[in-house]
A and B are shown apart, each in its own frame.
Chain A
């Protein structure tokens, strides 16, 4: 069996997609990166191979991307998240739509990629080196509200009076949330305010690059329909959200792996360091 692997080793989650030579997804999954992203990446790939009834010898080409792309010491090539995400997003374009802008909110970075008609990356922007407008921001606030990340999306649509969170700093925003709770404000109203804060922050980043439709929204927080709805409202455009938005970048890496193999790149057999 010939398989092509894309691993997106993020600060929060490690994502892996296995494709066959027809570019069909054979297996795909997500695991928390944890403190040892190398171990997580090796373990996740081993699990997916096992589920596919295959072994490391079946991986013809593997590409890593994301924050842990080097630390993982896995695979044949490293590509940037921008390249991988752009490739994944273009592949996921629905029929009749051409993705020209990709918004990706990740664990510690948020980024906006601008593509030309041919799918080439022509510009990109990333957030400042702080957690404002990233998944980590949502995670910290969810913890404070004693909620799961999934609950945030559901509660959003039950808000009656969206509140304003003034601070963009994660730590200060958390203090603000504590004050709002102390004032007896409703949790859904706070949640909607938090989503607005993320959408405003990311919206600024998107406008710095320019909004050209179609716009795709991916990354883990894109699963939160509250964030997607607020961001769409901020930007005044429809956002295309793929079924598994968290996997878009790993899928892109796997697609590039396929393409490399087709162009004759031949990777050495990979070895997985997985303790039993």
Chain B
């Protein structure tokens, strides 16, 4: 597997830096092997809408499979022409060897690509499909969670009990708290950490080492909070939204930063439900499952399930919290819901006076220069202090 580069430009404590480098440089391969050698059952899953808490309560290691440009293709036919790059990259990675490391795979029906992917994967191994069709009430989703818990318990021999779920919820709540502490530093002017680096850290949470990640993220956030504030001229503050951008697919974030803007917040399926989370519940098993179901179906900013009006509201809240000057909307080629939602979201934001740039791209590098032109123009527009009065010359 090709090595990924993990470098920070902000003052990161050595322990935290080493943690992220070790975990991510081989995209979690070494960590997976260690976990398996320690007797852990690693279960791959798609969509952050699935709570890590359920896997942890069942004694499994949840390893997220939604993939960002893992950079290799297995021999043989690709998934389909014009596949969703997230699903295609995951498919390639599984076929290139990752599948052998996993006990089983959980897939949600959060989009057509993933639903059909489950079909293909089923022929090759143990797959559990969860019905999260848009509009399903949380009460119904609880039944899905219960089914998942029982299925996981068969694999791990660890039944999900009230006490174990409470423990798992606490563990993940601490992780989310650490992430919120880190992301609060992005509200600073200038932000204490670059957007592409914060995104890398946030995505690393889904490699399944929740306790290790929490310790590293806390160290990082504490160090950045104490570090002297960087003094540099203000840059436009950009919010990224649309289809998720998953590390190491940092093409757009890097281009936005190279063009002279700061990315201060992302409104992706995996992000805002964490950033705006309420306290973890105590109580009976079912009540805790219901809380996890509500978080999944009511709070997740998935392009497929979230109505555009709710998305506009979520983005507008983040716009004021993070003092955003412009929005970049990411359309991942192959993701029809993200494409359909782009126009109404952009219109609503523009009407509210927020500049929006819509960009369609995938994981290939062929469009870097055309994208750069568009992004530089957008950042230039955000930077313009106010145009000078023209002096008529005549046509």
The answer on A and B forming one complex is yes
- With A67-B369, A79-B380, A121-B381 already in contact, the answer to whether A241 and B387 are too (CB < 8 A) is no
> At the interface with chain A, which of B19-27, B278-286, B370-378?
B370-378
Query: Please, how many angstroms separate the alpha-carbon atoms of A16 and B147 in the complex?
Result: 69
A241 to B394, CA, bound (A): 11
Q: Kindly state whether residue A87 has any CB partner on chain B within 8 Å.
A: yes
**Given A67-B369, A118-B387, A120-B387, does the pair A81, B377 have CB atoms closer than 8 Å?**
yes
Closest to B367 in A: A129
A214 to chain B, nearest CB (A): 10
State which of B355, B360, B391 has its C-beta within 8 Å of the C-beta of A122: B355
Q: Chain A CB within 10 Å — which of B370, B391, B393 has the most?
A: B393
Shortest beta-carbon distance from B375 to chain A in Å? 9
Contacts of B360 in A (CB 8 A): 128
Contact of B374 among A83, A90, A126, A240 (CB under 8 A): A126
Question: A240 to chain B: which residues have CB within 8 Å?
Answer: 395
Measured in the bound complex, the distance between the Cα atoms of B378 and A126 in whole Å is: 11
Q: Does A44 contact B (CB under 8 A)?
A: no
Is A83's CB under 8 angstroms from B381's CB? yes
Q: Judging by beta carbons under 8 Å apart, are A80 and B395 in contact?
A: no
- Cβ distance B329 to chain A, nearest Cβ, rounded Å: 13
Inter-chain contact A83/B373, CB cutoff 8 Å: no
Residues of B in contact, count (CB < 8 Å): 25
Q: CA of A35 to CA of B18 in the docked complex: distance in angstroms? A: 45
**A80 and B384 within 8 A (CB):** no
B317 at the interface (CB under 8 A from A): no
Stretch at the interface among A91-99, A135-143, A175-183, A225-233: A91-99
Q: Determine if A150 is an interface residue (Cβ-Cβ < 8 Å).
A: no
Is B230 among interface residues, defined by CB-CB distance under 8 A? no
Q: In the assembly, what is the distance between CA of A124 and CA of B359, in Å?
A: 12
Please report the C-alpha to C-alpha distance between residue A115 and residue B355 in the assembled complex, in whole angstroms: 13
Taking CB atoms and an 8 Å cut-off, the chain B residues in 78-132 that contact chain A are none
Instruction: Check B392–A80 contact: CB distance below 8 A.
Output: no
A118 touches B395 (CB 8 A): no
Query: How many angstroms from the CA of A139 to the CA of B192 in the assembled complex?
Result: 49
Is there contact, CB below 8 Å, between A241 and B395?
Answer: yes
A95 contact set on B, CB distance < 8 A: 392, 394
B350 within 8 A of A: yes
How would residues 342 to 386 of chain B score, 1 for a CB under 8 Å from any chain A CB and 0 otherwise? 000000001000010000100000010110011011111100101
Does B390 reach chain A (CB closer than 8 Å)?
yes
Give, as a whole number of angstroms, the nearest-CB distance from A130 to chain B: 10
Interface contact A120-B374, CB-CB below 8 Å: no
A146-187 contacts to B (CB < 8 Å): none
Q: Are B377 and A118 within 8 A (Cβ)?
A: no
Kindly state the separation between the CA atoms of A259 and B392 in the bound complex, as whole angstroms. 16
Q: Is there a chain B Cβ closer than 8 Å to A55's Cβ?
A: no
Instruction: Known A79-B380, A120-B384, A240-B395; judge A90-B373 contact (CB<8 A).
Output: no
A123 at the interface (CB under 8 A from B): yes
In the bound complex, do residue B390 and residue A123 qualify as a contact, i.e. CB atoms below 8 Å apart?
A: no
Given A86-B387, A118-B387, A120-B387, are A93 and B392 neighbors across the interface (CB < 8 Å)?
yes
Q: Please give me the residue from chain A that is nearest to B360 by CB atom.
A: A128
Select B388's contact among A92, A96, A123, A259, beta carbons within 8 Å.
Answer: A259
Q: Which residue in chain A gives the minimum CB-CB distance to B381?
A: A121
Distance in angstroms from A119 CB to nearest chain B CB is: 4
Whether B395 contacts A124 by the Cβ 8 Å rule is no
Residue of chain A at shortest CB distance from B350: A123
Given A119-B390, A259-B388, answer yes or no on A109-B373 (Cβ-Cβ < 8 Å).
yes
Bound state CA distance, A92 and B394, in angstroms? Answer: 5
Q: Given the complex, which residues of A lie within 8 Å of B231, measured CB to CB?
A: none
Asked whether, in the complex, the Cβ of A83 is within 8 Å of the Cβ of B395, the reply is no
Q: Does A242 contact B (CB under 8 A)?
A: yes
A91 touches B355 (CB 8 A): no
Whether B3 is near chain A, meaning CB under 8 Å from some CB there, is no
The complex places the Cα of A115 from the Cα of B377 at a distance, in Å, of 14
Residues of A within 8 A of B390 (CB): 90-91, 93, 119
Chain A residue with the shortest CB-CB distance to B384: A120
Give chain A nearest CB distance to B367 CB in angstroms: 5
Question: Counting CB contacts under 8 A, is A82 at the interface?
Answer: yes
A91 and B387 form a contact (CB under 8 A):
no
Bound: A118/B355 CA distance, A: 16
25 contacts between A and B (CB under 8 A): A23-B391, A67-B369, A79-B380, A80-B376, A82-B380, A83-B381, A92-B394, A93-B390, A93-B395, A94-B392, A95-B394, A118-B386, A118-B387, A119-B389, A120-B384, A120-B386, A120-B387, A122-B381, A123-B350, A126-B373, A126-B374, A126-B377, A129-B367, A243-B395, A259-B388
A contact set with B: CB distance below 8 Å: 23, 67, 79-83, 86-87, 90-96, 109, 115, 118-124, 126, 128-129, 240-243, 259
Please name the 5 residue pairs, one residue from A and one from B, whose CB atoms are nearest each other, closest first.
Answer: A119-B387, A82-B377, A90-B390, A80-B377, A80-B380
Known: A122-B355, A123-B355. 20 other contacts (CB 8 A): A67-B373, A80-B380, A82-B377, A86-B387, A87-B387, A90-B390, A91-B390, A92-B393, A93-B390, A94-B392, A96-B392, A118-B386, A118-B387, A120-B386, A122-B381, A124-B378, A126-B373, A240-B395, A241-B395, A259-B388
